[in-house]
Amino acid sequence: MATKNLSDYDISKVPSATGIKVAIVVAEWNFDITSALRDGAVETLLKHGVNEKDIFVEYVPGSFELIHGSKVVYEKYSPDGIIAIGAVIRGETPHFDFISQGVTYGIARLNVELDVPVIFSVLTTNNKEQAFDRAGGRLGNKGTEGAITLIKMISLAKK
């Protein structure tokens, strides 16, 4: 939402993340944006107690590949949760709509099929400026939001 800083949250409402293992899958397409999202996620996980050795980062070519990449890291690392990071920016063709919809459905499907949460940290914006605003710019960092969401979802699963 354009009026809310994505990195603002009440730290007292975030459970401890000590002892959890996290896999992060990052799309290389729009890497100037996705790397900032990755950095926000990693910094937040560390801040909340995840050990650096328990954060596994893997890269896929684009946002559509986040679906299979998430399944691969699930099988490879047995994490407690996964953050899928990508950025799809509208262009002149319907490609944006197909990719955005496919990634959304694919990650939703993984949340039903896998026994760990897969967090959707994929920006779908009209232009690069909107993406930068959400990747550490004036609206915070969607990677930070993804990490907080993951911690809360893992905590819910462990209750």
- Residue 3: the pLDDT is 61
Q: What is the 3-state secondary structure (H, E, C) of 68-131?
A: HHHHHHHHHHCCCEEEEEEEEECCCCCHHHHHHHHHHHHHHHHHHHCCCCEEEEEEEECCHHHH
Question: Which residues does residue 23 pair with via DSSP β-bridges, in sequence order?
Answer: 56, 82
The reported pTM is 0.95
Is 158 a residue whose pLDDT tops 70?
Answer: yes
Identify whether the C-beta of residue 88 lies closer than 8 Å to the C-beta of residue 52.
no
Is 2 a residue whose pLDDT tops 60?
Answer: no
- Residue 1: the pLDDT is 52
The closest alpha carbon to 27, from 124, 95, 93, belongs to 124
- Residue 126: the pLDDT is 97
Is 138 a residue whose pLDDT tops 70?
Answer: yes
What gap in Å lies between CA 159 and CA 30, rounded to an integer? 37
State the catalytic residue, choosing from 4, 68, 76, 95.
95
The closest alpha carbon to 125, from 98, 83, 96, belongs to 96
Count helices and strands (H / E) in the chain: 5, 6
Mean pLDDT of the residues in the chain: 95
> For tokens 């684009």, what's the residue?
62
Query: Domains (ranges, CATH) in the chain?
Result: 20-158 (3.40.50.960)
Please write the tens of the pLDDT for every residue from 96-114: 999 999 999 999 999 999 9
Strand-strand pairing, 135-137 and 22-27:
unpaired
Is 48 part of the annotated catalytic residue set? no
Identify whether the C-beta of residue 121 lies closer than 8 Å to the C-beta of residue 41.
yes
**What Cα–Cα distance (Å) separates residue 81 from each residue in 50, 86, 98, 102?**
12, 17, 26, 21
